[in-house]
């Protein structure tokens, strides 16, 4: 879609609407950055805290990228955590298969490649169930989640698989150029790739349209089948990458790691303005929302009397709040009417000012 | 002859028939492999395992018919029964069990009301909303209230209810199984839901709203009220089911019901309830829950390692949902 081909007035209104959300998210980021030190009474954002945060959020950050793609396409992927664990377990088994020998790095590389390949296959299977059988994505991924989770349990007999050689964990905890933690580097690469996909490729443009109205997209000669397959494959690959990151952090793989990541990633996506019905969501907002969620997570960690269960409550409540808020902003009733009126007047004033 | 032909033609078009066939085939397979399936104690054991999932399945059925998905019912049940049992234990309550049920029902009603309020007033995808509320309830239960396990100090009346049975059976090998009294709850709920769905305005409203919400509203159904009331009722029923589970297990563990929603919901879809709402029967749901329960219970008889259990359950769910989806496709001719 050539930007110059769209008439001026709708483009302006569109831009005002879009930028608003990013600025709003930046505001939330600032609020959250200030809130926790203020509550605690001291500065909690030390260098080591920031470094550990930068190493934590890539795990679920890459998974949130995949989930965002699925959301934009109009579907949802609930199986990504299971895929992550499943591929991680297989990767650990490969890495352990000849521990103590000299060729550690090639084995790690092989394990990573196999894990990503299996993630792609798992995603492809998801897509197959959705397009081939016509199962709604949510049910298909719920079912495959069970299948992969079950397979993980079979492979590990319920125990956690530790990585015998410490090289992998060392790589995962190392920093590139002296300051960029490896997980963050991986996340940034994935982020740039997904951003490129969404904004500069035909697939990306069509994805938004498919999410808005799948039938119309289908009748517009878009290959929705292929796009669904590709979307879920990418989600599977990113889930596998997330699993590899988790493995480097915990130095082991287990069937039930990251059980709270499902909720967290959905929250990140909704916070980023991704509509669960599809067709909306900007990638830069996702970066902001991942950082915000990580800050909240680390901030809450500083209060030891709030145990981990509070965190799921916070995620759930935040998710509810965000969904209701997004709904109200879109709708034409009550609170939403007021907001849309303000926006309309503002855009009109801007337009009037520009014309003069 | 004509009548029976018509009957068969009508019945083979229904999903419930195929679930029934699958159930029969599964029973035969297990019997062939182990020779112990059709023993009295095994059948009673399966029926016993069906009580709690069956009751959850019936409440989920009502939600699915209305077009929603409820992923929060285990959390509602867990929070309700944990609160109830904790309060009863802390006050050393030894009286009638009715109070436990009433308290749990009230808690469940309030929690369901939150679900209902959000779902009825805002057009949000119900699955994600209930996922969020479920997480909130779990967080409340384990974080804010910090409810702990109650294993040996359960009120005596509850333990008594769990232990009481209608009759006992013995297998040829001398294994004993009892048909618990709480099975009556399942039967009563099944009849109640069935009658509600068929003969009350509320029940028919669920089908209407699930079929096409806008048309239902135009036809005069109070969509918001119905949905809100539905989730409140489902909350109460889930809470009661939770109490029954405590009685049967003779313990009240807050985390005991996690993951239940992933089993029950696909089972309800398996049983013929349409994913988009507007269709579903009690018979189908019970058959599907029976199928899943039989499969899980038969793992041991089939000699399958317990670790395969989740995988096979997932596989059955996947197959079932695929079949249901293909059927929907065939009728809608998409």
CB-CB contact of B86 with B147 (8 Å): yes
* A342, burial (CB in 10 Å: exposed 0-12, middle 13-18, buried 19+): exposed
Half-sphere exposure of A189 (CA within 13 A, CB side): 9
Model confidence at B255: pLDDT above 80: yes
Q: Residue A175: enclosing H or E segment and its boundaries? A: strand A175-176
Q: What is the pLDDT of residue A322?
A: 87
Q: Which residues of chain B lie closer than 8 angstroms to A293, CB-CB?
A: none
A-chain residue closest to B146, CA distance:
A309
Location of structure tokens 């839901």 = B193
The pLDDT tens digits for A302-329 are: 777 777 778 888 888 989 988 888 887 7
* pLDDT on residue A17: 62
Give the highest mean pLDDT range of A65-69, A280-284, A343-347: A65-69
> Per-residue pLDDT tens for A229-239?
999 999 999 99
Confidence of residue A254 (pLDDT cuts 50, 70, 90): confident
Tens-place pLDDT, residues B71-99: 999 999 999 999 988 888 888 777 778 88
Q: How many CB pairs under 8 A join A and B?
A: 148
Q: Name every chain A residue with its beta carbon within 8 A of the beta carbon of B146.
A: 307
Average pLDDT, chain A: 84
Locate the chain A residue with the closest alpha carbon to B125.
A276
B182 contacts B247 by C-beta, under 8 angstroms: yes
Selecting from A129, A150, A316 the residue whose C-beta is nearest the C-beta of B310 gives: A150
Give chain B positions within 8 Å (CB) of A128.
none
The DSSP string of B8-46 is: HHHHHTSHHHHHHHHHHHHHHHHHHHHS-TTSHHHHHHH
Residue B333 has pLDDT above 60, yes or no: no
Contacts of B188 (CB under 8 A, 6+ apart): none
Of B128, B135, B275, the CB nearest to A139: B275
Report pLDDT digits (tens) over A24-34. 788 888 888 88
Q: How confident is the model at residue A289 (pLDDT cuts 50, 70, 90)?
A: very high
Gap between the Cα atoms of B184 and B172, Å rounded: 26
Q: Give me the residue from A129, A146, A306 closest to B322, CB to CB.
A: A129
Using alpha carbons, list the distances in angstroms from residue A198 to A74, A78, A201, A210: 14, 21, 6, 13
| Cβ–Cβ below 8 Å for B262 and A144 | no
CA nearest neighbour of B66 among B234, B283, B287: B234
Helices and strands per DSSP (H, E), number in chain B: 14, 2
CB contact under 8 A, A324 and B311: no
- Stronger pLDDT, B320 or A16, i.e. the higher one: B320
| Range among A13-17, A90-94, A229-233, B318-322 rated most confident | A229-233
* pLDDT class of B251 with cuts at 50, 70, 90: confident
ipTM of this predicted structure? 0.83
Residue listed under structure tokens 């009603």: B109
B130, pLDDT greater than 50? yes
Contacts of A261 in chain B (CB under 8 A): none
How far off is chain B from A154, nearest CA to CA, in Å? 5
Q: Which of the residues A74, A76, A132, A147 would you substitute to probe the B interface, choosing the one with the greatest number of B C-beta atoms within 10 Å?
A: A147
In 3D, which of B30, B70, B74, B32 has the Cα closest to residue B293? B30
Which chain A residues contact residue B130 at CB under 8 A?
none
State the pTM of this model.
0.84
């Amino acid at each position: 879609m050539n930007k110059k081909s769209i008439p001026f007035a709708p483009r302006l209104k569109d831009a005002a609407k879009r930028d608003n959300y990013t600025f709003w998210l930046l505001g939330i980021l600032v609020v959250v950055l200030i809130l926790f030190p203020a509550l605690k009474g001291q500065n909690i954002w030390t260098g080591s805290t920031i470094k550990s945060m930068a190493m934590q959020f890539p795990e679920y950050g890459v998974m949130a990228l995949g989930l965002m793609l699925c959301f934009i396409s109009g579907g949802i992927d609930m199986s990504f955590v299971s895929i992550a664990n499943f591929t991680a377990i297989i990767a650990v088994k490969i890495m352990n298969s000849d521990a103590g020998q000299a060729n550690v790095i090639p084995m790690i590389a092989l394990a990573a490649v196999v894990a990503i390949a299996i993630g792609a296959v798992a995603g492809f299977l998801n897509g197959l169930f959705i397009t081939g059988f016509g199962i709604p994505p949510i049910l298909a991924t719920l079912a495959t989640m069970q299948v992969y989770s079950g397979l993980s349990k079979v492979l590990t007999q319920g125990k956690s698989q530790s990585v015998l050689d410490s090289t992998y964990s060392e790589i995962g905890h190392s920093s590139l150029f002296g300051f960029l933690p490896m997980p963050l580097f991986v996340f940034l690469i994935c982020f740039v790739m997904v951003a490129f996909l969404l904004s500069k490729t035909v697939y990306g443009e069509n994805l938004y349209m498919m999410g808005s109205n799948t039938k119309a997209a289908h009748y517009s000669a878009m290959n929705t089948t292929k796009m669904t397959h590709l979307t879920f494959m990418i989600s599977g690959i990113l889930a596998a990458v997330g699993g590899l990151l988790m493995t480097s952090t915990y130095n082991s793989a287990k069937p039930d790691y990251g059980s709270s990541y499902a909720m967290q990633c959905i929250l990140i996506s909704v916070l980023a303005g991704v509509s669960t019905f599809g067709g909306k969501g900007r990638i830069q907002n996702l970066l902001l929302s991942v950082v915000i969620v990580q800050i909240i997570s680390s901030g809450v960690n500083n209060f030891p009397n709030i145990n981990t269960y509070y965190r799921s409550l916070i995620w759930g409540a935040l998710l509810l709040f965000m969904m209701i808020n997004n709904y109200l902003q879109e709708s034409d009733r009550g609170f939403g009417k007021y907001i849309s009126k303000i926006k309309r007047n503002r855009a009109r004033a801007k337009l009037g000012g520009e014309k003069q | 002859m004509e009548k029976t032909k018509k009957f068969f033609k009508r019945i083979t078009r229904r999903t419930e028939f195929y679930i029934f066939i699958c159930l029969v085939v599964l029973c035969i397979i297990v019997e062939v492999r182990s020779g112990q399936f059709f023993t009295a104690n095994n059948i009673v054991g399966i029926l016993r395992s069906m009580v709690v999932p069956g009751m959850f399945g019936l409440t989920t059925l009502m939600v699915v018919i209305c077009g929603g998905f409820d992923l929060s019912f285990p959390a509602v049940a867990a929070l309700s029964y944990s609160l109830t049992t904790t309060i009863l234990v802390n006050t050393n309550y030894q009286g009638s069990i009715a109070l436990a049920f009433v308290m749990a029902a009230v808690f469940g009603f309030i929690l369901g009301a939150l679900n209902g309020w959000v779902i009825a007033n805002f057009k949000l995808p119900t699955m994600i909303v209930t996922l969020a509320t479920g997480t909130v309830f779990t967080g409340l239960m384990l974080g804010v209230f910090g409810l702990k396990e109650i294993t040996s100090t359960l009120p005596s009346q509850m333990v008594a209810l769990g232990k009481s049975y209608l009759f006992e059976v013995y297998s040829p090998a001398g294994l004993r199984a009892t048909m618990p009294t709480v099975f009556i709850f399942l039967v009563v709920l099944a009849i109640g839901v069935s009658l509600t769905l068929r003969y009350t305005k509320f029940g028919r409203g669920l089908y209407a709203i699930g079929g096409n919400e806008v048309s239902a509203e135009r036809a005069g159904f109070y969509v918001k009220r119905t949905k809100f009331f539905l989730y409140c009722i489902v909350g109460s029923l889930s809470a009661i089911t939770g109490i029954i589970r405590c009685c049967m297990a003779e313990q009240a563990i807050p985390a005991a019901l996690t993951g239940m929603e992933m089993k029950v919901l696909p089972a309800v879809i398996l049983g013929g309830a349409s994913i988009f709402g507007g269709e579903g029967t009690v018979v189908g749901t019970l058959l599907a829950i029976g199928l899943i329960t039989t499969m899980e219970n038969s793992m041991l008889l089939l000699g399958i390692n317990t670790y395969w259990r989740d995988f096979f359950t997932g596989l059955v769910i996947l197959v079932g949902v695929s079949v249901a989806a293909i059927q929907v496709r065939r009728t809608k001719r998409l």
